[in-house]
Amino acid sequence: MKEDLFTFSIQQAETLGIECAIVLAAAKTIKTELSAPNEIASILKESMPFFAEEEILKHIKRLIDLKLISPEVTSKKIKSARSKNLYSLKLPSNNLNAGKRKLEKSWAPSAQAFEVLGMGNVDKEFIESKVNEFKMYWLEKNQIRDNWNVLFVDFIRREWVKENSTNKGLPVCIDDHWSPSSDAFDILELANVSKNDALKHLKEFILYWKENGTALRSWNSKFVDFVKRKELIGTYEGKNDKKAHRHNEPGDFSQEFEHRTKDASWAENLEL
């Protein structure tokens, strides 16, 4: 190997670990496609005498699983598939459920799922504690899917947010210090309700739900609905007030035409 210096990014070191990042940097300097994993480890051992060959092989296998490097076997499969495609036309499958399967009781999250969640600083113990809950839910659903690991990652992310919220995702009663989130104001802006107009209804909203005593996981959606109703009622009443004002202006009749034709009060003071 010509170079004695291996370079890698901080992000790679944080995600893979320093040792694995060093092995990746070294592997990029050789053609891994020409060698099997154990051969790659032997080659890299010459330039990294400070690592045991077994340790290098362990990191090589991990990098192969993460598809960050390609060994000889994988490369041959890719080349074989490409050569077949030159001579045959792959028709779309008529089976919409191809690759889909039900969740099994023995299912477990993949190493990649743990890697992705680890990048978001989610505790491994927390992830493992939620596996049975995830499996129980989807076993009851009895659905066919092809992305169980993706669903698991999304589930853990939501649960992690709840775990780190002030109320741990549990229902709570509203208090005098509650205030809407920025997302709530953004949604109201889309409905043409400004933040200042929305805040006019905040005290009434808090007072109503304090007396009601209801406990909710989040009060933002309730506040958005409350403000929308109030603004709608205010708009309707405003239109009616303008309409009443127009009919009372000088020169306008205060009665409908039918009542005016039957009204004989104008003749009461006439002397015959």
Helices (runs of H) and strands (runs of E) counted in the chain: 14, 4
CB 71 within 8 A of CB 40: yes
Core vs surface per residue 143-161: b (16+ CB within 10 A) or e: eeeeebbebbbebbeebbe
**pLDDT at residue number 36:** 83
Residues 29 and 67 in one domain: yes
Residues 21 and 76 in one domain: yes
- Helix orientation angle between 182-190 and 220-247, rounded to the nearest 10 degrees: 40
Reported as a single tens digit per residue, the pLDDT across 140-149 is: 888 888 889 9
Decide which of 123, 138, 164 is a domain's last residue. 164
Percentage of the chain lying above the pLDDT 70 cut: 72
Residues 63 and 119 in one domain: no
pLDDT reading at 72 higher than 90: no
- Helix orientation angle between 18-27 and 53-65, rounded to the nearest 10 degrees: 80
Quickly state the pLDDT bin for 2 (edges 50, 70, 90): very low
Residue 172 is inside which H or E element, if any? strand 172-173
- Asked whether residue 237 is assigned to any structural domain, the reply reads yes
**pLDDT at residue number 236:** 61
pLDDT reading at 116 higher than 50: yes
Residues 38 and 61 in one domain: yes
**pLDDT at residue number 239:** 61
Residues 152 and 203 in one domain: no
pLDDT reading at 108 higher than 90: yes
- Asked whether residue 267 is assigned to any structural domain, the reply reads no
Residues 151 and 191 in one domain: no
- Comparing 57 with 96, the larger pLDDT belongs to 57
**pLDDT at residue number 91:** 44
Decide which of 164, 182, 217 is a domain's last residue. 164
- Asked whether residue 93 is assigned to any structural domain, the reply reads no
Residues 178 and 110 in one domain: no
Residues 67 and 126 in one domain: no
What is the distance between the alpha carbons of residues 13 and 82, in angstroms, rounded to a whole number?
Answer: 34
Q: What are phi and psi of 144, to 5 degrees?
A: -100, 125
Residues 14 and 81 in one domain: yes
pLDDT reading at 1 higher than 50: no
- Asked whether residue 92 is assigned to any structural domain, the reply reads no
Reported as a single tens digit per residue, the pLDDT across 155-178 is: 999 888 877 776 666 788 888 888
- Asked whether residue 263 is assigned to any structural domain, the reply reads no
**Left, alpha or beta for 70 (phi > 0: left; psi -120 to 50: alpha)?**
beta
- Mean pLDDT (the chain) is 77
Sequence-separated (6 or more) residues with CB below 8 Å from residue 189: 195
Exposed, middle or buried, 92 (CB in 10 Å: 0-12/13-18/19+)? exposed
33: containing domain: 10-86
CB 122 within 8 A of CB 156: yes
- Asked whether residue 141 is assigned to any structural domain, the reply reads yes
Residues 14 and 82 in one domain: yes
Decide which of 130, 145, 164 is a domain's last residue. 164
pTM of the entire structure?
A: 0.35
- Asked whether residue 96 is assigned to any structural domain, the reply reads no
CB 34 within 8 A of CB 47: no
DSSP summary character for residue 92: P
- Asked whether residue 200 is assigned to any structural domain, the reply reads yes
How many domains is the chain partitioned into structurally? 3
